[in-house]
Structure 1
């Protein structure tokens, strides 16, 4: 039997690699779509090295989200049947398969298939990692540990962006094949790392594996002491929770839409939906297009884009420190106001000072407007401020809040 470790920070540190995989995907696409290797290899137009059409590029980018959406719907069934731990390990294996296909892509169709498969992993891990951590973490640390999922995403974005930036000088398809292949490494670490972690005690209890449930509680909460009051309290709470569940009427997914649960369901769904609709994913995937419109080119473009990823990592830290003190709702409200402000300013500057460029700025056809001078600096500054507002608010809280609704 493999030795298991009960340190909650180690458990969270390994599990959140699943979030890092999401980040790897975001920045690998962001850094690569403006590179000559990618543009030439996947070129669709009559003009050489202009890359896929705008609609096709949108489809390539969205294919990962499509796979993620589908897998997130199924991940609950997988997790309930086989456990949180095995579901996350399955996600890691799926990611490796997707990376093999993506890095070996011979055409756009193969690239899209690989990204859909990668999305399956993101859907499973995004749904199950916060649940897994929240079911193991003590209430006093739950917010920061679940929020670390977002921090892992920001680190994944930052690390992969610089890997992709480093490979951008390579000739031919190696410029994008190497970064996409390297994405397999964290998934392999996640798979083997999960082997030494315990299963969720709540899932074990739901399967009437009470002895294993108690062993996990002793390992994680009792630090090896079976007589710890923490262990007794958690064990009693799990029993009470399970008795209530079993005494209730037969629970199905339709139960979530009954009057008793509809409010929780609405909040859980829309916290994640609005987190995506804030515009953060656009700023992550397409920041090179935004900064191209602001007049940046070449290595300056990629380096300036990378600054926002550094901001993303750094500004997530305050949330991990203070989120359990400040609360969820005030944090979301503050983030919404700040993000709206920077987006409105950006839109106003581009609308008032932008000059239309029919062929696209710098040959990038998606960058159809250009600003210069003070307007250019305003666009760059507001883009950074938008990321700095999202990182400590909607970023981590969107992962923390939904798992807490059922507790």
Structure 2
């Protein structure tokens, strides 16, 4: 079967797996406020009031629960079957889940279908970044892996308008049709992956060297077997694979050994912090927030859709400049801005909000109402929050973890770090509806504190990885013999985009990387061992 080597085509097809998660987010946010959903899945004594806060939290969180479990196992699938096949398996699982969800007769059946959908999202969200990061050139790796976040934003936007259009249909069809249509991108993903090459680094790990070289020639050499960049990449993969095999440690427990614990902690918290910004929560439950700002009916849904448009548009700058700017500055600016908008919203709702007993229009989660200028300010800050997340933590949370780990651990490591994302997605999806009902505007304060904490954490602990081949990122943490180093402090690490770009285009290919290219390092000496 013919395979295509254009890296943008490869990324464009594989990131559809991320788009499936986006479909889920907006289908829930648009549908949970509709009468068809509220009447059909009503769990209280009052007709058409929908599930209780705790039940709705469970429905929303069930997808994340399935994603958490599947993301953990996806590492073993990825190591044994390759990077492509697990993504294709995920697409088939998504189709099955959509059949069950769209045919749901009651809340338990809906939850089961969403858990199955979560299996797909868990596999794809963990392994698509691994696949792209292993096949992309270093100067394009950030934008190509970050495109997964762009696919998520497109999924959110497209599905929201499909759900909005279907909201005018009476009865259960209002939610059954959009949930059934979610199958279409999964079918495209499954078929498209057939025409893409396997990861060259996975092929190398299985000693399939001829196939590895063919993929490098196809993708990086543009069909030229004499490309100096291909020769350099192929040689580096061979050298580092030999080093990695000396450790003979490839289990999940290896991630917690002294050699890897720092990388594991950084990768895991990248995913955890991306959830604790509160972004996905705001996406799921934006209709509650805008109800508090005085919106209802069509104006509520249309105003909610604006933030999805902002999300798509503001992700583009990251795809263009993320490799030039680097990972650290992007994360630091994003968390600082998000903390600002969250604090302003909390202040507006806390000082100018009017308590509404029983909720607004029967929506129990909307316990505070603001009007006039304060209402417009809450909406504006919500939009600014999205505009701050979209080009920063959104894409970087997918880009950064795969860059931290060596080849033989990357599949499992990214699976583990991504499981942190889904564990907190589950917890927050379950927590937020009761939080809006009980502590109301103080929910914003909780997430603002998290944003401040992650800013401090990133500044002191997260090194820069932009512009470096994956093998060179590994060298930031240890030498060629696996000896541990105390490297340059995270806040002094640099982006080597320009150097990598020159080498990728054939310049300095024969030059051995010197200590000028890698961060300054000092040999690690265990306490009590002496120098």
TM-score between the two structures when normalised by the length of structure 1: 0.99
* Match in the other structure for 2:242: 243
* Match in the other structure for 1:171: 170
Q: CA deviation at 1:249?
A: 3.8
CA distance in 2, matches of 1:251, 1:70: 20
Offset from partner CA, 1:79-111 (integer Å, 9 cap, x none): 001010001001101100111110000000000
Deviates most, 223-232 or 166-175: 223-232
* Match in the other structure for 1:61: 60
Is 1:185 the counterpart of 2:184? The answer is yes
* Match in the other structure for 1:86: 85
* Match in the other structure for 1:324: 323
CA distance in 2, matches of 1:170, 1:241: 58
Is 1:142 the counterpart of 2:141? The answer is yes
CA distance in 2, matches of 1:225, 1:394: 37
CA distance in 1, matches of 2:283, 2:82: 32
Structure 1 segments (4+ residues) deviating >2 Å: 249-252
SS in 2 for 1:38: helix
Deviates most, 228-237 or 161-170: 228-237
CA distance in 1, matches of 2:284, 2:253: 35
CA RMSD of aligned residues (A): 0.8
Alignment of 1:191-206 (within 5 A): 191-206=190-205
Q: CA deviation at 1:359?
A: 2.0
TM-score between the two structures when normalised by the length of structure 2: 0.76
Offset from partner CA, 1:95-151 (integer Å, 9 cap, x none): 001111100000000000110111111110000001100100001110111111100
CA distance in 2, matches of 1:89, 1:233: 31
Is 1:400 the counterpart of 2:387? The answer is no
Alignment of 1:70-149 (within 5 A): 70-149=69-148
Deviates most, 349-358 or 8-17: 349-358
Alignment of 1:295-374 (within 5 A): 295-374=294-373
How many residue pairs were aligned? 406
Offset from partner CA, 1:346-399 (integer Å, 9 cap, x none): 111111111111221122122111111111111101100000000011001101
* Match in the other structure for 1:36: 35
SS in 2 for 1:227: coil
> Which blocks of at least 5 consecutive residues in structure 2 are unaligned?
406-469, 471-531
Deviates most, 309-318 or 253-262: 253-262
Deviates most, 89-98 or 363-372: 363-372
* Match in the other structure for 2:14: 15
CA distance in 2, matches of 1:232, 1:368: 63
Higher helix share: 1
Offset from partner CA, 1:250-296 (integer Å, 9 cap, x none): 33221211222111100100000110110001110000010011110
Larger radius of gyration: 2
Q: CA deviation at 1:223?
A: 1.4
* Match in the other structure for 1:25: 24
